[in-house]
Structure formats: structure tokens, C-alpha cells
Structure 1
Amino acid sequence: MRGALLMTGAMAAFTFNDACMKALGVHIPLFQALVLRGLGTTILLLILARRMGQLRFDLSREDWTLIAIRTAAEAGAAWLFLTALNNMSIASVSAILQSLPLTVTLASAMFLGEVVGWRRLLAIMIGFGGVLLIVKPGTDAFTIHSLYALGSVICVTIRDVVVRKISKSVPSLVVSLAAAIGVTLFSAAGAAFVQWQPMGLLPSLQLIGATLFVVAGYILSVSSMRVGEIGFVAPFRYTSLLVALILGVVVFGSFPDLLTLIGAAIVVATGVFTLLREWQLRQAGRRSAPPPRPVARL
């Protein structure tokens, strides 16, 4: 239960970060917001990594290459996601993002050789049908920004698949710190071509909130996986959709239409099934594994 509460808190923190960034987009350009948030996030993660003794640079060339690929995917995901978020309702973008467990499972089967049975493949196909209900291709509700949201899902999928190949000995804070630096540098390149705007009290508070929320989300999500059983904790990721619905109504005065809600329900249901099915298979594999051979003592 502690793990579930920590995961719920992490998803709430990430969604509050999204809300702060969406509100901030009214006052300043996106690249300016990304640079300023990136600087704050980088500083906080650097302090945290140093205090926890995880600030290491003696990594292998392969690990640095994988971290670079993950960082590039992170930068692309941040830009695509926030571009979509600034032009769509927070609930709709969040609903599209809930397809991540489905896309990661499919990509792991295609590129990492992980075995995915027919039940999970069927769930993935049904889940993608739910995404189509949210995006609504071929209708007046479909916009280019829906493609930006889907593009962010692809980038995050690449990020999550690549991270599985990074050595277990690499501290997670180093990976996150590299991503924060990469996003900041990418945003700085884009910010060089936009007109920066002065920031009053409200945008400054929104920026501080976004920075604190994104760091809190990271800490809580890592803690949840260390405290709780992953099969029980992982489905609580979907609480972010509920938080997004509430924030959309209370803060932005928007509520998704019926098709979006139906699509979101399908995506969440198939995603939870996929996560639970993967956990069941892992548990079965552990039970069927032969016991370790005894080691002779001299």
C-alpha cells in the first residue's frame, strides 16, 4: 500500500507539473519555459545525486551511448508533449499518454525479443483502438497536435525500451540528470530563435511549481518501485488520468467528450490487463525456476 500511495503521489506530481507548464505557456514561449525548468531540474537533480553518492561518470562507452539515445528521445518527447499540451486539453493528452504500457510491451517484443502471448497482443490491439477514439482521425476534432501527442508516445517508448539495456550498475539519478541536461541544451538551441518574454509573479510561481513537481514526481516514482511489489504498484500509474480530468475541469474549464472518455477507459483497461499479465508471467517464471545449487563449503 505504501508503494501504491507513492506511485499515486508521483503521478499526481507529474500531472501538476503538466498543468503548470500548460498555464505557463500562456505567458512565455515554450522553449523559454523548457530552458528555465530544465535549469532548475538539473540543479536539483545534481544536488540530489551528489548527496546520495550516485554522481558517477566512470561508465562504459556502451552505457554512455544508450544514455545519449535515451536523452535524445527524452528531449523529443518533452517538446512534442508540451506542444500538444499547449494546444489540447490536458485530459486528452494525458489519455493518449496512457497507451505507453501497450507501446512499450509491443516494442519490447519487436526489438528486445521479449515473449508476448496472444492475450497481451489482443489487449494491445484493442488499446490502440481506444487511442483512435481519442484522436478521432478523419473528423473535425482531429488536429495536427494529436499527432504531436502520438509522437511523444513514440519518443517515450524509445526512451523506456533503451533504458532496459543500460547496465544495472548505472545509478538512475545519473540517467535522469543526463536527460535533464540534454533537454535543457536542446531547448536552449530552440530558445535562441524566439523572443524571450519578461516574467511576472504568476509565471514565476508556475515555473517554480513545475520544477518542484517534476523532481518530486521522479523521487516518488523511484521510491514506489523500491518499496512496493511492481505488479501491484504499476497500475496506479493510471491515476494520472483522473488527476488530469479534475485539473482540466477546475483549472482550465475543459472536459473531454464522450468518445474521448470511452477511448480512455479502453486504453486504461487494456493497459492494466497488460501490466498484470506481465507480472503474473514473471511470478510464474520465478516459481518454476530450479532452486540454486548448494555451494560446497571447505
Structure 2
Amino acid sequence: MNPLRGIALKIASVCVFVGMASLIKATSDHVPPGQAVFFRSFFALPVIIAWLWMRHELSNGLRTVSPLGHVWRGVVGTSAMGLGFAGLGLLPLPEVTAIGYAAPILVVVFAAMFLGEDVRLFRLSMVGLGMLGVVIVLSPRLSLGGADTTHAEALGAMIVLMSAVCAALAQVFVRKMVATEATSAIVFWFSITATLMSLLTLPWGWVIPAPREAMLLILAGVLGGVGQILLTSSYREADASLIAPFEYSSMLLALGVGYIIFDEIPSTTMLVGAAIIITAGIAIILRERQLGIERARQRKAMTPQG
């Protein structure tokens, strides 16, 4: 393991995923979300297959012990992707990014509900703080802060929040699946499932993209595959608790891209809410790391010494 390399790979994956989201947003005025999901998933497959072949893991990527688990993970994961893409067409990129940070906070709640994980007072309090941040980010869009907002923006806020809920559920499914499934299989079959599910949206009005739009969508798919590889590789090089906080660097990137490319100026309310969510998320990660160290010490103390 190489922690510095793991951090670098994680930051690279964040940059790639923000770039992918920007490409999807650039086509969102004309291309429906379901069609964007197809391009994102289908054109990621060649990249993922080539990566698995180079690592001699292609057979592991095809082998599965729990096909139904992949289906359920695919349903909620694809729903998260489609809702997120829809939100990109209705809200500024930094705002979508900030609301999306609710996902790792919700994972704590869902892991307690569905996996029976023990959640104590500190993590519960940080979950509450994080959700307060989400409410602050959402408040102008729901007319709670007195700001003018359109119905489309209010709908976009709720859509992105539902995307975060689905993303959190998908992470819980993955936590359960890793006990029997290889990471390569989870990555491969999700792309397959998302590609097939996206085709179900054909009756809702796919369009023939202009050449420029088609190029952007294909590039988004390639970047999605590259980002997934970088993310997976980062967790091979360093502990999850070490590199997870670097996920929040996406806010700086989203602010820069939103301002330079899409002429989006973030509100103070959004920035304050995002800061609260990030603080709560990092606190949970650091607490998880400390608990992991303590559990390791307890196991070592209980191990018979020869």
C-alpha cells in the first residue's frame, strides 16, 4: 500500500467525475437524463473491460455469487445516476454537488437500519448536523429562506436529494455485497445493469444528439469508466478512512467549473450549508477511523501470544 498514491488517485477520480458531470450538464438542455445514463454507462464499459483484462481480472468481473444483489444495487444506483443527471439540468453544479454530500451521511443511518451496524451518540449527532446543512442548502429552493426560486429549481432540489438517498442505499448494498462479490464484478455488472435500465426510458423521448452533444456524451462515458478505475485503485493503495475526506475537494472544483464554464455564482446560504455538511462528513470519517483502530487493538489484545 502507498497512502500518497492512494490520495493522488482519489483526487484524480474526483476531478474526472466533476468533469463527467460538467459534460452531462452541458448537454442537459437537449438530452434526456435516461439517455445520458445510457451514454455514461455504455461507453464506460470498454474502459472497464480493458482495465479488467489488463489486470487479469476479467473472469472475476464476470463471475458472481449473488446475481440478485447486483440487480438491486443496479436499480438503486442507476436511479441515483438518472436523478442526479436530471438535477444537473435544473440546478447549478455546486449546488448539486453540495446536496449530493448527503449520501455518505445517510449511509450511516441506512447501515444501522438495514445492516444492523451500531451507531452511537457521536455519529448520530453528526448525522443531525449534516442534515441541518442539507436543509440550509435546500431552504432557498423550497422558499424557506425568502429567496425567489422557480418551480423547476424547487423540483430540481428534491430530485437531487432523492438521488442522494438512492446513492446512499446503493452504498449500503455494496457494503453487503463485498462479503461475497469481487470489486471488479460489482463495477462491471453495475455498468451492464445501468446500460440496460437506461433503455427502459426510450419511450420518454430520446433525441438524436447533435455531433457536438454526441461527442460530449461519449466522453462523459469514457470519463465515467476512468473515474471508476481511479476510485477503485485508490482504495487498493490506502485505507478508506484516510482518502475518503478528499471526496470533498469536488466542491472546490465544482465552484470553479460552475463559475468559469456555466457562469454560476454560489449563494452564501449554499456555501454555509455545504461547509456544515462537509464538517459533519469528515467528523464521521475520522470517528470511523478511530473506532477501526480501537477494534484492531482489541483483536490484537485478544489474540493468544505464542
| TM-score normalised by L of structure 2 | 0.89
2:128 matches 1:117: no
Report what 1:146 is aligned to: 157
Aligned pair count reads: 292
| More off after superposition, 9-18 vs 25-34 | 25-34
Report what 1:128 is aligned to: 131
List per-residue Cα deviations over 1:136-190 (Å, max 9, x = no partner). Answer: 1343436011111011111111110011111445221221221111111121121
2:185 matches 1:182: no
Unpaired segments of 5 or more residues in structure 2?
none
User: In structure 2, which of residues 8, 19, 25 is the aligned counterpart of residue 5 of structure 1?
Assistant: 8
Report what 1:230 is aligned to: 240
Give 1:42 deviation, angstroms.
Answer: 2.1
Unpaired segments of 5 or more residues in structure 1?
none
List per-residue Cα deviations over 1:17-75 (Å, max 9, x = no partner). Answer: 00001102234333333223322112322333233333344433xx2121111000111
List per-residue Cα deviations over 1:203-225 (Å, max 9, x = no partner). Answer: 23312321222112111111111
Report what 1:31 is aligned to: 34
Tell me how far apart the structure 2 counterparts of residues 37 and 109 of structure 1 sit (CA, whole Å): 32
Report what 1:157 is aligned to: 168
Kindly report which structure 2 residues correspond to 1:135-284, keeping only aligned pairs within 5 A, or say none: 135-136=138-139, 137-139=142-144, 140-141=148-149, 143-200=154-211, 202-284=212-294
Tell me how far apart the structure 1 counterparts of residues 209 and 164 of structure 2 sit (CA, whole Å): 32
Report what 1:59 is aligned to: 64
Amino acid at match of 2:190: A
SS in 1 for 2:263: coil
2:40–2:222 contact (8 Å) kept in structure 1 = no
List per-residue Cα deviations over 1:252-280 (Å, max 9, x = no partner). Answer: 00022111100000000010000110110
Give 1:6 deviation, angstroms.
Answer: 1.3
Amino acid at match of 1:257: S
SS in 1 for 2:234: helix
Report what 1:108 is aligned to: 111
Amino acid at match of 1:149: V
Are residues 44 and 192 of structure 1, via their aligned partners in 2, closer, same or farther at CA, if it must alter by over 3 Å? farther
Are residues 175 and 195 of structure 1, via their aligned partners in 2, closer, same or farther at CA, if it must alter by over 3 Å? closer
User: In structure 2, which of residues 12, 17, 20 is the aligned counterpart of residue 17 of structure 1?
Assistant: 20
Tell me how far apart the structure 2 counterparts of residues 167 and 100 of structure 1 sit (CA, whole Å): 19
RMSD: 1.8
Tell me how far apart the structure 2 counterparts of residues 138 and 242 of structure 1 sit (CA, whole Å): 26
Are residues 208 and 167 of structure 1, via their aligned partners in 2, closer, same or farther at CA, if it must alter by over 3 Å? closer
Tell me how far apart the structure 2 counterparts of residues 15 and 67 of structure 1 sit (CA, whole Å): 26
Amino acid at match of 1:47: A
Give 1:198 deviation, angstroms.
Answer: 3.9
Amino acid at match of 2:19: F
List per-residue Cα deviations over 1:92-116 (Å, max 9, x = no partner). Answer: 0000111222111111122211112
1:28–1:199 contact (8 Å) kept in structure 2 = no
Amino acid at match of 1:59: T
2:111–2:172 contact (8 Å) kept in structure 1 = yes
Report what 2:72 is aligned to: 69
1:101–1:274 contact (8 Å) kept in structure 2 = no
Amino acid at match of 1:71: G
2:31–2:206 contact (8 Å) kept in structure 1 = no
| TM-score normalised by L of structure 1 | 0.92
